[in-house]
A and B are shown apart, each in its own frame.
Chain A
């Protein structure tokens, strides 16, 4: 990925302190344009994921990103009860945060939001990005149906003067 780090979306990774995250998982995150933030405690991971969600919602409101939330990646954790409780609460309060797990160094969705996110990413990957040389609109001069009609006098008046009724030559109010 050639994106600057500041342009990447933050993805929270919950992993135990004594077990480093597999570098290939980081690579998988990077391929998606996500920057990992590793947390070792489920409470802190949930708080951080909620913060990222809030931030991205705000940025989406400012139309500065797509609104897609990377979410939370769960590596095997020594406190499964806490992780289960966290997932239950997240499903209840913030179901829109995608939750993922890792399998063979790849991300696998754990909830519906992650499945939807995955599908969106797959779809976006198949959309061909137009090059800078590609014109935004192709006009075929030979196609008569597409030839623009000349504007009427009334329409010109409306465009120039924002008047619905064009001035009449015999109108005493007009100069």
Chain B
């Protein structure tokens, strides 16, 4: 198990290939490499505790960007989690779009590039479209206010209220539209303004860059020209949408739709903190598909991709609402069992321990068939994994992942198709014995 190692560096490791203007240099800054092969070498030997986070490609390419596509593909093959930024003459180059995370046009300023790599959207950059559904949970500490933001001076009645919207974007994106409508009411002195989906005779479309985000309507029926406010609101909603897209890209694995390693780190930290506060247990399962690489080699990456996606789909049907499935490497997954109370769906039987869920998943994956693969379909799949629980095995994320990793390794050594389970995962909810950090209940 390389994907979920015990300690990971917080410093972002960025490689640059070609002429890339970067403001920061030195040992902590981006690392220029001579060519794409050097970048591949760095990605290949990067330890799991300090993986390469991003590669910026500024290659002199032909008109269809074939070189750039090959370069991006080769990096992705080696590590699908690396963020790839392409610097091109005239973005967007359609042929490149599916293969990179961002394209930006020359000339590039160091500030623009830094913004992009830090997750802020520079104007005019082009990014691939992300799925609109299932926006990830916001991570406030990822977008902490910078010293330049004066969030207090413009709040409340004294200002226009935009700082409220900035805060909503940063900390509670779901509330932005509601807050924006409230600001319009305050500024216009009108009451009962609504942002609705359907168009009605007196409504004003909220539209920006060719997209309609809803219709603004004054419920009291007063005849007011709402177009300036609709335009103002449209830009905020578009910004909210862009941020949601970036969040989606930052936290989701593109191939399987599972959460990614970055999300796992955040979610696990927050979940452990909550478990500590509520005195509840939490379990992490780390597993991989036995002999997946051999299967991939034998039948090709497309068939391997189908198996990965089906595995995630199956796992999604077994876990509960509050649990999270994360893809942490090629065929390595981590599941955080954070929800021990809510039934998976209405009417379903609540499993009384994580062990049962894990075993149910293990049994179901053995029964899984792949009709889409036709004759290529494997006879049987199996997984090997390890489970570690808070507070039994460790009290912090790195410790839990390390122990789950060790148990997964133990499962491999025992001949695969094996789950190695610590005492905590077998601890049932019905058991009134309080969890003890020193050992299992007897």
Contact = CB atoms under 8 A, between A and B. Distances in A.
Interface of A: 5-6, 10, 35, 37, 41-44, 46-48, 50-51, 53-55, 58, 61-64, 82, 85-86, 88-90, 92-94
Interface stretch (B31-39, B340-348, B355-363, B390-398): B31-39
Contact of A50 (B35, B78, B412): B78
Contacts of B2: 54, 58
A61 B262 CA distance: 26
Given A6-B295, A89-B37, 13 more contacts: A35-B297, A41-B70, A42-B37, A47-B40, A50-B41, A51-B78, A51-B293, A51-B330, A63-B413, A64-B412, A82-B37, A89-B41, A93-B42
Interface string B312-341: 000000000000000000100000000000
B294 A47 contact: no
B298 interface: yes
Contact of A10 (B45, B74, B297): B297
B291 A89 contact: no
A93 B297 contact: no
B108 interface: no
B387 interface: no
Interface in B21-47: 35-38, 40-45
Given A10-B297, A44-B70, A62 B409 contact: yes
Interface in B90-139: none
B83 to A, nearest CB: 17
Which of A46, A47, A82, A94 has the most B CB atoms < 10 Å from its CB? A47
Contact of B44 (A54, A63, A88): A54
Contacts of B36: 43
A-B pairs with lowest CB-CB distance, top 4 = A93-B41, A89-B37, A50-B44, A43-B74
Interface string B268-301: 0000000000000000000000010111011000
B40 A43 contact: yes
Contact of B37 (A5, A46, A51, A55): A46
Contact of A46 (B40, B45, B330): B40
B293 A89 contact: no
Interface in B57-109: 70-71, 73-75, 77-78
Contact of B297 (A37, A53, A92): A37
A46 B298 contact: no
A104 to B, nearest CB: 27
Contact of A47 (B38, B75, B330): B75
Contact of B74 (A37, A47, A53, A54): A47
A6 B70 CA distance: 28
A42 B40 CA distance: 11
